[in-house]
Amino acid sequence: MEMVRFDHNTGGIMLTEHLSEAERQYYYMDQCSIWVKEQEEKLGRPLTASVVTFGCQMNSRDSEKLTGILEKIGYTMIDSEKADFVIYNTCTVRENANLRVYGRLGQMKQTKKRNPGMFIALCGCMMQEPEVVEKLKKSYRHVDIIFGTHNIFKFAELIYRRITEDKMVIDIWKDTDQIVEDLPNDRKYPFKTGINIMFGCNNFCSYCIVPYVRGRERSRLPEEILKEIKNAVADGVVEVMLLGQNVNSYGKNLEHPMTFSELLREICKIEGLERVRFMTSHPKDLSDELIQVMAEEPKICKHMHLPLQSGSTEILNKMNRRYTKEDYLLLVDKLKKACPDISLTTDIIVGFPGETEEDFLETLDVVEKVGYDSAYTFIYSKRTGTPAAVMENQIPEDVVKHRFNRLLNRVQEIAANVCSRHEGTIQDVLVEEVNHQDDTLVTGRMSNNTVVHFKGDASMIGTIVSVKLLTCKNFYYIGEAVK
Ligand code: SAM
Ligand code: SF4
């Protein structure tokens, strides 16, 4: 690709041949930053921006990238939708996520009337649905920029187009095999960060919209992942969370295939990196090799998020999960044997089409047998375009709500019991922040992800402290630092 680039160092135009995609985007960031400076001079105040995130950890990570680009352009980030640039990074896994976005956009109409120069942008999974974009074009004309999940790296270019074209900019890609590296990003915490190791999903669970809106599975090159983590560690990061919809199938489609366990071993060699977490693990791809690496590598946190979805083999089959109740329980046994301290968490859907009381009792049975530290419980939400949406026997709302409440109560009782098993022990805690309610306390996490509060101060943030766990308060501990 060939393009003309403004060179700030020489103050002149330079012709740059064969720019990489990242270089093209840095060019647009430069262009936008000139515009931001002009606006700031005109207004006599800084231009502000805000990123509003819905949904999962993938979206949170994408939002750090959006923030990095906005900061590079020169916006001052604030935590308010009264900013000069507001971007909503959307989720569409469940229907109420969509409804929340429309609600917020409705309110923003008034906000924009008060600040007509502001920009409103939308991106993320919800934008990959054609009917959503049609609705926005028709009824939400105050939106300035719309893009999806595949071209987030083009954010600066799209802002540039909005500035220069002065009309709504829409750029949605159906799919991509492109992974653009080396763009700016701004970490929410200086000491921990999410690292994408792969994008997309090939599993097509029958209830789930993710494969349609995030595209096919693509793994990043191991050398790119290692480089990003090494740079983050040099910058003060001690904990990484490796992100993918199904990390256990990492590396299958690389030119030189590599397993997730092999990648983990390489990551654990990085000096200065203290903790490695990952999510999400699909039970059908969880290998013995991975369980062994978890047991052997002290840096790998003793926490496994292993979505169950349902405890009924029949429902699992209809969900296209490709494991049985027995397979799942066997995996849990292996994990507990290999890592006796492990904490297990899960996702469960209640009210999938055709779910009978017996099926639901199978789910409760797994919950009893596993003893989860916590579980995200969801009411099944019909997503148009997925196979489950047209299945017969959708479950009436009152039945689902009743089951959901029974499940939630049991999950909470068990979690409180399970959580207390470490009472009296000394654990390593990574301090994350000063406690919001009591500033004489700090809050951190154990390797197994359990929250601990203890006496301390801001100087401890980002360090790992030995803490004696004094009392368990259902889902967290009160402890004291030991010298
Ligand atoms: N890839 C991950 C996995 O396989 O578990 C999680 C992806 S999804 C964003 C997170 C969770 O949302 C899923 O584990 C599932 O429990 C829930 N979910 C997905 N589609 C849903 C739907 N249609 N209704 C209710 N919950 C849903
Ligand atoms: Fe959705 Fe299943 Fe893929 Fe997870 S593995 S993102 S639940 S299709």
Which tens digits make up the pLDDT trace of 391-418?
999 999 999 999 999 999 999 999 999 9
Please tell me the least confidently modeled range out of 123-127, 181-185, 287-291.
181-185
Pairing between β-strand 239-243 and β-strand 192-196 as defined by DSSP bridges: parallel
Q: Is 295 in the pocket of ligand 1 (CB under 6 A)?
A: no
- HSE value, Cβ hemisphere, 13 Å, CA-based, for 268: 17
pLDDT tens figures, 322-370: 999 999 999 999 999 999 999 999 999 999 999 999 999 999 999 999 9
| Residue 58 Cα: closest atom of ligand 1 | 9
Rounded to whole angstroms, the Cα distance separating 200 from 213 reads: 8
Ligand whose nearest atom lies closest to the CA of 245: 1
Q: Evaluate: CB of 209 within 6 angstroms of ligand 2.
A: no
On the question of pLDDT at 306 being above 50, the answer is: yes
Cβ(196)–Cβ(188) under 8 Å? no
- Is residue 293 over pLDDT 60? yes
pLDDT value, residue 17: 54
Q: Which ligand is closest to the CA of 305, given by its number?
A: 1
On the question of pLDDT at 420 being above 50, the answer is yes
Distance (angstroms) between ligand 2 centre and the Cα of 158 equals 29
For residue 452, is pLDDT > 60? yes
- Cα separation, 373 vs 350, in Å, equals 19
Span 311-317, mean pLDDT?
Answer: 98
- Cβ–ligand 2 contact at 203 (below 6 Å): yes
Query: Distance between CA atoms of 149 and 209, rounded to whole angstroms?
Result: 13
Q: What is the pLDDT of residue 182?
A: 87
Average pLDDT over residues 276-287: 97
| pLDDT at residue 2, rounded to an integer | 44
For 197-253, the pLDDT digits (tens) are 999 999 999 999 999 999 999 999 999 999 999 999 999 999 999 999 999 999 999
Question: How far is it, in rounded angstroms, from Cα 217 to Cα 340?
Answer: 32
pLDDT grade, residue 166 (50/70/90)? confident
Mean pLDDT of the chain: 94
From the CA of 55, give the closest atom in ligand 1.
Answer: 9
Give the pLDDT confidence score for residue 328 in this predicted structure: 98
- Average pLDDT over every residue of 459-482: 96
Average pLDDT over residues 114-131: 96
pLDDT of residue 19: 80
Residue minimizing CA distance to atom 22 of ligand 1: 381
For residue 272, the 8-state DSSP code is T
Query: Looking at the CA of 91, which ligand is closest?
Result: 1
The closest-lying atom of ligand 2 relative to the alpha carbon of residue 204 is 8
Considering only CA atoms, which residue is closest to atom 6 of ligand 1?
245
Count of Cβ atoms closer than 10 Å to residue 157 Cβ? 21
CA distance 8 to 428: 48
* C-beta 155 within 6 A of ligand 1: no
Pick from 141, 142, 173: which is nearest to 157 by CA?
173
Residue 422: pLDDT above 80?
A: yes
Count the neighbouring beta carbons within 10 Å of the beta carbon of residue 173.
14
Q: Is the CB of 93 under 6 A from ligand 1?
A: yes
Tokens of 232: 């983050």
Residue 483 — pLDDT band, cuts 50, 70, 90?
confident
Query: Cα separation of 151 and 29, whole Å?
Result: 15
Nearest ligand for residue 385 CA = 1
Average pLDDT score over residue span 38-66: 96
Give 466 or 184, the one with higher predicted confidence: 466
What is the distance in A from the centroid of ligand 2 to the CA of 321? 9
CB of 309 within 6 A of ligand 1: the answer is: yes
Is residue 1 very low, low, confident or very high in pLDDT (cuts 50, 70, 90)? Answer: very low
In the reported structure, the alpha carbon of residue 78 is separated from the centroid of ligand 1 by a whole-number distance in angstroms of: 31
Residue 3 has pLDDT above 80, yes or no: no
Which pLDDT score is estimated for 437? 93
Report CA(313)–ligand 2 centroid distance (Å): 17
Measure Cα distances from 158 to 20, 28, 171, 254 in Å: 17, 9, 8, 30
* pLDDT given for residue 13 in this prediction: 45
Indicate if the pLDDT at residue 446 is higher than 50: yes
Q: In the chain, what percentage of residues exceed pLDDT 90?
A: 91
Using an 8 Å Cβ cutoff, are 387 and 446 in contact?
no
DSSP secondary structure of 87-113? EEEE--SSHHHHHHHHHHHHHHHHHHH
Residue 10 has pLDDT above 90, yes or no: no
Token code pair at residue 384:
């148009």
Å from CA of 347 to ligand 1 middle: 7
- Rounded to the nearest 5°, which phi and psi values hold at 48? -110, 155
**ω into residue 280 within 30 of 0, thus cis?**
yes
Distance from residue 264's CA to the centre of ligand 2 (Å): 22
| Ligand 1 atom with least separation from CA of 376 | 16
Instruction: Give the position, in ligand 2's atom list, of the atom nearest the Cα of 209.
Output: 1
Pocket test for ligand 1, best of 347, 348, 379, 390 (most atoms within 8 A of CB): 347
- Output the pLDDT for position 176: 87
Calpha distance 366→307 (Å, rounded): 12
d(CA 268, CA 258): 15
* Pocket lining: 381 vs ligand 1, CB cutoff 6 Å: yes
